[in-house]
Chain A
Amino acid sequence: MKPSVEQLENLLALKSHERPEEGYWQDFLCEFHQRQREQAAEKSGLVSFYNRVSAWFADLSPSKWAYGAGLAYATVTVAFFLMPKGVDVENAPASPVNYQVVPTAPPVEQLDELDLSPSTQGSVGEQVF
């Protein structure tokens, strides 16, 4: 049996007043984002990383530069203070050796004349008197 025109008009009037449940659109948006993240994670690493970096730089704003510089400064400062300093190492005591290096003394010269200039040379070794 075919619906009458009056029945169809009543049905359309009823549908025009029909609304989704409370929170439907909020749930729909969350589900959409969740699926989007899952899809991105499934993509290969390098391409994904490149895409994310490209997107990050494309969306770069002065505030992000300020955040990045501040973060780098804080990192360097913390690293400076937390970096382990050199440990004072006590020298090991000199171990005794069987020989000793003695500096060679200049030879004693006998001057034949009273010439005290530095370039004067005398005779060394045995002297006959």
Chain B
Amino acid sequence: MILWILAATIQLVHAEPLAVHEPMLASYPPLPDGRACESVAVPVNRDALLVSVVAPGANPANPSLLMGNRRVAVRLIGYDPVTRLGFFQTKEVAAPHTAEWLDDARGCVGSTLRAETAGGPVKCLATGWIKQIGGKVLPLALLRVNFDRAVPPAGTALTEPGGRVVGIVFQSAASGNTGYAIPAEAVHRVQRDLVKGGRLVRGWLGLVLHSESQSPRVVRVLPDSPAAGAGILPGDVLLAVGSRQISDYADAANAFFYLVPGETTQVKLLRGGKPLALALTPSRPQAE
């Protein structure tokens, strides 16, 4: 009897925290028009760090986590208004069902994916990238996904056949079962800065481009900027930033989103009809 009690105690002490498989829902204060603001929360690491999508107009400062019928208090790590991603942590749930994430979702276009919804997996297909909607260029490109059923709620994880998360649902498109998803690399980019400093810090180059220009041509280079220091000149046409190919202005805007201050990036240019490669190290924005 004593041995049994001792064994049970040891087992209790060394047991791994229970993996949470029930759906987790991040709940934010209602929108000004009274609508509820909820998003599926997806774990991003083993430290119970969760990511969710905050609807426009919602107050991201006071989230809570719904696990089934339980409301769990969470600590806000940070919110990025550009991507509308909110990161928070909870101590009441030890090591939620940890999901593995892809580093980069760029190779997933054309692949069959799976949306992990509360009602079960939903088959879907990544059909391409959305970098501009109408006349509005997005600050970063989103993954366009066609679902077999209705578009799942915001925050729902999309996984590739290997089970790794490719991205999370951002919102549905205007019609049909098409939705937009924030790619994994954008989540990583935001997570990195929010965990470190509570907010996203974009890399600044001092390059001026014209949004209505068909080609990604440099209009001006600000003096004493990283771009001027690297030798970029007005009239240069961007061909690639890092590993991202640039074919138009929206491509450039998307590539610049991923720049990290202090991290050197290779930039390929076209100058006078000849290709040119330069090393460019973005800095923190000048206003800071």
Contacts and interface: CB of A to CB of B under 8 A. Distances in A.
B211 A124 contact: yes
A107 B249 CA distance: 13
Interface in A97-129: 105-117, 120, 122-129
A124 B137 CA distance: 10
Q: How many B residues touch the partner, as a band? A: 35 or more
Interface string B179-194: 0101000000000000
B139 A113 contact: yes
Contacts of B49: none
Contacts of B256: 129
Given A115-B56, A128-B208, A129-B256, A109 B135 contact: yes
A108 B214 CA distance: 10
Contact of B209 (A105, A114, A123, A129): A129
Tell me the interface secondary structure of chain A in the complex: loop
Given A112-B82, A127-B253, A129-B205, A106 B171 contact: no
B138 interface: yes
Contact of B211 (A109, A112, A116, A117): A109
Contact of A108 (B56, B82, B84, B211): B211
A110 B211 contact: yes
B contact patch SS: strand
Interface of B: 56, 81-84, 132-140, 142, 170-171, 180, 182, 204-212, 219-220, 222, 249, 252-253, 256
Contacts, number: 83
A107 B132 CA distance: 13
A120 B139 contact: no
B219 A122 contact: no
A114 B208 contact: no
Given A112-B139, A128-B222, 17 more contacts: A108-B137, A108-B211, A108-B249, A109-B135, A110-B253, A111-B137, A111-B139, A112-B82, A114-B138, A122-B137, A124-B211, A125-B210, A126-B209, A126-B210, A129-B206, A129-B208, A129-B256
Range for the number of chain A residues in contact with chain B: 20 to 34
B160 to A, nearest CB: 23
Contacts of A109: 135-137, 211
Instruction: Specify which of B135, B180, B208, B211 lies most central, judged by the most chain A CB atoms within 10 Å of its CB.
Output: B211
A128 to B, nearest CB: 5
Nearest to B222: A128
Contact of A122 (B136, B142, B210): B136
**For A114, A124, A128, which residue has the most chain B Cβ atoms within 10 angstroms?**
A114
B211 A127 contact: yes
Contact of A129 (B56, B82, B207): B207
Contacts of B180: 116
B138 A111 contact: yes
A127 B164 CA distance: 36
A114 B84 contact: yes
A117 B220 CA distance: 31
